[in-house]
Amino acid sequence: MNDIEIAQQAKMDKITEVAAKIGLDSSQIEQYGDYKAKIKLPVGSQKTKGKLILVTAINPTPAGEGKSTVTVGLGDAFSLLQKKVIIALREPSLGPVMGMKGGATGGGYSQVVPMEDINLHFTGDMHALTTANNTLAALIDNHIYQGNQLHLDQRRVQWKRVLDINDRALRHVVIGIGGVTQGIPREDGFDITVASELMAILCLAKNLADLKRRIGQIVIGYTAEKKPVTVAQLGVTGAISLLLKDALKPNLVQTLAHTPAIVHGGPFANIAHGCNSVLATRTGLELADYTLTEAGFGADLGAEKFLDIKAPVLGKTPDTIVIVATVRALKMHGGRAKSELKTEDLTALRAGYANLQKHVANMKRYGIPVVVAINRFTSDTTAELQQLQELCAQDKTAAVVADVWAKGGAGALELARKVVELSAEEHTFKPLYKADAGIKEKIEQIVTQIYGGTEVVYSPKALRQLKSFAEFGWDRLPVCMAKTQYSLSDNPKALGAPKDFAIHVREFVPKLGAGFIVALTGNVLTMPGLPKVPAANGMDLSDDGTVSGLY
């Protein structure tokens, strides 16, 4: 059976029963059908009590590392151990679902369900973000058209439109053409919704008041004199906020084994900050003894941003970090092609281990206990699994094999016990940089300590921007790196653990509502494209409503 068939055969608990498991009665949730709900705000005691487990991974390869699958399987293992656990994942984006990557609900017997709903429209959060984003864009262009009282320079509008779709044809567009009554012509572009500042804001806001405050602070563009103009100045903070009031509420679903899962917020980790919402994670910490959460792509992106951007807002750092790796993916990092992965190859594995090794060292650097979860595939040989564990042991890194796709929680019991043990350890969090360090210093720390690079090369434009940021008082904000997910460097082809490389910052995008500055490196795109044969072409809907071809 494939993932969707397994998911469709699941016998789910009613969402009211799932809510009851974490102490929420039916008046504290809003049902969306029988198996999905939004959790009303504020939740519970407002006091965080539980342990926080962050699941991250090596750099992804086409072989797949199964981070979500391990997170879900690990959560179910906690349930089997009678621990009160909540899984906190990100929401899938429809762009990759229709394109190539597929959904984001785990796989095999470690999935969150209802899989189809979560991967399609779910409770509408993405759509609310798209709508709020584009309503703001329309209000901006209308402001310019209707007299432009704020003196926005149409060449300096920074606020882009978005869609939750992979659509390369919208990356660069010219709008407002067609004559006098059709708006003011200007260059514009669309990003994917998950890359939007509103998504970051949704994921970082502590409550509705904080959401509104952040939205008011968004810089939509600049005047001809290069002065920033904000949403608050445009006078539409209220309208944009109310479009997001329901999206801010965390979504409750369940795993195949009925473990409660909060799936909320979904920024990509390459072009955005890559973590699910602060409110979702906080809800977990308030209601459960263990909250398992995942950050996007490899630990160089998602985990770094979790620790440096999200944790300060959350007011809590992880008690254990789980780094997911597979023998297959490490062999690719060691130089093998995707077609060669079924053959045992201890040399390639040893070479590729460098990638895992670097991520482990990075996470240990923050002072947090680390365990490697080796996500088992059927093609892994005993010798390979053994060698990988030995390599970890040589580095004094705990490493446990998990078999979650086939066995669900039962395949991750040992991993769960290890995580419980590590989470009880005393440890002291060591931040990567001081909160008040300058932008260049922060980037240098990330590049040298996390990526393993030697220097940062700024484009002339980026350097000019840094000057103006100093003027505006934005020069001490956290930095959100936009970088390829495939490599520790900004070159997607440099697998393993590249050395002696420079990171190229070509442009900054200040996101004052999110509260950070995005640094665009390499050629990373904020709007993906579709492949030659999109996943959409394999999808179908039967006359009775059964979905197929979703994965």
**What residues from 224 to 283 belong to the interface with its own copies (CB under 8 A)?**
235-236, 238-243, 245-246
Contacting residue, 94, 325, 479, 482, with its own copies by CB under 8 A: 94
Sign of the alpha-carbon dihedral angle for 207, 210, 215, 218: negative
**Selection from 20, 16, 18, 22 nearest residue 287 by Cα:** 22
Question: How far apart are alpha carbons 514 and 214 in whole angstroms?
Answer: 7
Segment contacting its own copies (CB under 8 A): 24-32, 267-275, 311-319, 384-392?
24-32
Shortest approach of its own copies to residue 148 CB, angstroms?
Answer: 12
Work out the end-to-end distance of the chain between its first and last CA atoms, rounded to an integer number of angstroms. 12
* 334 neighbors 345 (Cβ within 8 angstroms): yes
Active site residue 320: no
Contacting residue, 77, 113, 128, 219, with its own copies by CB under 8 A: 128
* 524 neighbors 530 (Cβ within 8 angstroms): no
Q: Which is nearer to its own copies, 337 or 533 (CB)?
A: 533
Active site residue 159: no
- 61 annotated ligand-binding residue: yes
DSSP per-residue codes, 344-396 = --HHHHHHHHHHHHHHHHHHHHTT--EEEEEE--TT--HHHHHHHHHHHHHTT
Segment contacting its own copies (CB under 8 A): 84-92, 160-168, 358-366, 449-457?
160-168
Q: Which is nearer to its own copies, 16 or 449 (CB)?
A: 16
157 to 163, 272, 390, 509: CA distances (angstroms): 18, 20, 54, 12
Question: How far apart are alpha carbons 183 and 330 in whole angstroms?
Answer: 52
Contacting residue, 141, 294, 300, 304, with its own copies by CB under 8 A: 141
The position carrying tokens 């446990």 is 400
- 68 annotated ligand-binding residue: yes
Determine phi and psi for 243, rounding to 5 degrees: -70, -15
Contacting residue, 46, 178, 378, 493, with its own copies by CB under 8 A: 178
Shortest approach of its own copies to residue 238 CB, angstroms?
Answer: 3
**What residues from 343 to 402 belong to the interface with its own copies (CB under 8 A)?**
none
Contacting residue, 23, 44, 183, 438, with its own copies by CB under 8 A: 183
Segment contacting its own copies (CB under 8 A): 205-213, 317-325, 388-396, 404-412?
205-213
Q: Which is nearer to its own copies, 367 or 531 (CB)?
A: 531
156 part of the interface to its own copies, by CB under 8 A:
no
Segment contacting its own copies (CB under 8 A): 84-92, 122-130, 217-225, 250-258?
122-130
Report the half-sphere exposure of 407 (CA within 13 A, side-chain side): 17
Determine phi and psi for 235, rounding to 5 degrees: 80, 25
Catalytic residues: 67, 69, 90, 101, 269, 297, 377, 405
